[in-house]
Structure 1
Amino acid sequence: MNAAQKATNIELATKIAAVVNLFKSKFPDAKADLKPWHNDPDTRELVDPDSIDIGFHFPGWSRRSQCRSILVQIRFYEDPVEAYRRVIGVEIAGFNHEGLAWRLSTVENWSIVGDSIPITEVAEKLKDFCRQVFELFNS
């Protein structure tokens, strides 16, 4: 779900802003997009209501990251009985002019798969970003 729609209280809005700042600390040229999903019936059908989704766009194609845009999806598990929310995974996808270029999932083995994967330095920055997102939301 779009991060802008999930920012329903000051605590969550602050954490979303912290996620943006964490990403921009690693990729200063990236511009954040808190509404990466369009509000149409087909898109709403695909959107996970238990996630916070943020897009990041580079000013052109990034050779180092092998993409033009990155979609970050922070997936949650919410326990209504215990009244807590935890991050259970972070999904990151890089897109170029042809569509999906690569994908990183913390649910599996934290490897980046795809046709055009980023250089090792960028891959490590993305993994470090994921670790920091877990720390931010689960501490």
Structure 2
Amino acid sequence: MNATSQAITPELATKIAHLAVLLRAEFSGSTVDLSPWLTDEKTQYQLDPHSIDLSFYLPRDIEVLACECILMQVHFSESLLLPTCQLRTVEACAYICTEQQWQFSTEDWRFVGLSTPNIEDQARFNQLIDRIFELFKHPNQVNTSR
């Protein structure tokens, strides 16, 4: 579900904003889109209501992560408003134009695809994912200390 749609409490809005800051800090020059999905009924029906989805665009003149755009989905166990909610997985798909270059999931922590990032960029991306897990350790509580 679009990240903007999940900003339903001040705590979640703060964490989603901090998530965007983390992305831009790790990959300078990137821009973040908190509403990557269309809002039509057909598209919304197919989305996970317990995820925070966003995309970020990398500058074309900087060769990083072997792509130009990454769609990231942060999946949770249940409604973000429930106190028992936990972050389950983070998935990412990377593209150049409309062609998928690679995908990543915390289910196996591997990059697979046509053109995966170099080892250094994979390590940077994994550090970002670790920060996301720390940020959403308690989804509906504010803790942006990292």
**TM-score, length-scaled by structure 2:** 0.86
Which string of whole-angstrom CA distances, capped at 9 and with x for unpartnered residues, describes residues 66-110 of structure 1? Answer: 111011110001279x73211011111111124211011001x20
Cα RMSD over matched residues? 1.9
Query: Which residue identity does 1:5 align to in structure 2?
Result: S
Q: Whose strand fraction is larger, Structure 1's or Structure 2's?
A: 1
Shift of 1:61: 6.5
Q: Percent identity?
A: 34
Larger mean CA deviation between 123-132 and 42-51 belongs to: 42-51
Match of 2:63 in 1: 63
Q: Note the residue ranges of structure 1 that are not aligned, 5 or more in a row.
A: none
Give runs of aligned pairs for residues 1-139 of structure 1, distance below 5 A: 1-60=1-60, 62-78=62-78, 83-107=83-107, 109-139=108-138
AA in 2 matched with 1:38: L
Q: How many residues align structurally?
A: 137
Which ranges of 4 or more aligned residues in structure 1 deviate by more than 2 Å?
59-64
Determine if contact 1:61/1:96 at 8 Å carries over to the other structure. no
Using the size of structure 1 for normalisation, the TM-score is 0.90
Query: Which structure has more RCO (C-alpha within 8 Å, separation ≥ 6)?
Result: 2
